[in-house]
């Protein structure tokens, strides 16, 4: 097979969409009843089995609300199985849950049908706010399909001018930057209080203190490039 280089860029091939809606199924209804916020961490769709495996982050104010939420969740017809609930290490009020839910009739299923390559959401107060990146040619059809699932209050789309904004490029890091930033993390440079300093890192690599500082700053700037993505999401939401 011969792969030919196509001139141009991804500037108009992919679009980011933002939408806010009240879905007729599970998540909108259940967050309307309880003071709880849900964020999707990972989804694995199995269309042929009419199932989606999801890992979710849940923030809830008290354990009573959590128990009532889980009781209601287990009664939902769209939920196949709640497999686990673990206390997150991030905060006491944040939990991690994984479950299987239906593919058909779910927003996540629609996004998968339209080849979404990025997904971010917050569900609370009976409303689902979602961002996705998908081929620009699929945006109009996605909007039409979402309207069939519930009340679509907002929908905006924008060409993704820099495709790299939604990815985590590996080769932007030089080998030495990657080595130093990982070593710094492993030895507690980013702990509070800090367990190691620039001098110790410089000694372990046989480099000067200023050189190690430069590598760390460069690697940190690249690692924080995801801020561009959140800036783009905020701009799209505000219109």
Q: What is the band of 76 on the pLDDT scale with cuts at 50, 70, 90?
A: confident
Predicted confidence (pLDDT) per residue in 91-132, tens digit: 778 999 999 999 999 999 999 999 998 899 999 999 999 999
60: which strand partners?
36
Q: Of all helices (H) and strands (E), which one includes residue 184?
A: helix 175-186
Q: State the Cα angle at 76 between 31 and 97, rounded to 5°.
A: 65
Residues 191-227 pLDDT 10s: 999 999 999 999 999 999 999 999 999 999 888 776 7
Strand order in the sheet with 150-159: 79-87, 94-101, 51-60, 36-46, 118-124, 127-135, 14-23, 150-159
How far CA 165 is from CA of 133, 159, 224, in Å, comes to: 11, 12, 11
Q: Write down the pTM of the prediction.
A: 0.80
Q: Which residues contact 145 (CB under 8 A, 6 or more apart)?
A: 110, 113, 114
Q: Give pLDDT, residue 15.
A: 92
Q: What is the pLDDT of residue 165?
A: 66
**pLDDT of amino acid 96:** 92
Average pLDDT, the chain: 87
What is the distance in angstroms between the CA of the first residue and the CA of the last residue of the chain?
Answer: 43
pLDDT over 60 at 8, yes or no: no
Domain boundaries, the chain: 14-161, 166-226
pLDDT of 30 = 86
SS3 of residue 207 by DSSP: coil
């Amino acid at each position: 097979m011969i792969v030919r280089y196509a001139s141009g860029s991804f500037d108009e091939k992919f679009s980011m969409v933002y939408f806010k809606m009240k879905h007729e199924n599970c998540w909108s209804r259940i967050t309307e009843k309880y003071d709880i916020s849900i964020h999707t961490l990972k989804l694995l769709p199995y269309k042929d089995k009419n199932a989606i495996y999801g890992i979710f982050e849940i923030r809830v104010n008290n354990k009573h609300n959590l128990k009532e939420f889980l009781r209601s969740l287990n009664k939902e017809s769209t939920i196949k199985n709640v497999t686990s609930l673990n206390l997150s290490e991030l905060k006491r009020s944040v939990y991690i849950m994984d479950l299987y839910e239906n593919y058909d009739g779910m927003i996540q299923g629609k996004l998968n049908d339209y080849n979404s390559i990025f997904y971010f959401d917050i569900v609370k107060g009976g409303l689902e706010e979602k961002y996705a990146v998908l081929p620009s040619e699929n945006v109009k059809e996605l909007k039409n399909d979402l309207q069939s699932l519930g009340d679509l209050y907002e929908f905006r789309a924008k060409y993704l001018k820099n495709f790299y904004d939604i990815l985590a490029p590996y080769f932007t890091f030089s080998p030495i930057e990657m080595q130093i930033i990982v070593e710094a993390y492993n030895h507690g440079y980013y702990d509070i209080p800090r367990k190691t300093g620039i001098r110790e890192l410089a000694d372990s690599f046989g480099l000067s203190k200023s050189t190690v500082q430069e590598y760390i700053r460069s690697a940190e700037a690249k690692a924080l490039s995801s801020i561009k993505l959140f800036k783009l999401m905020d701009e799209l939401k505000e219109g």
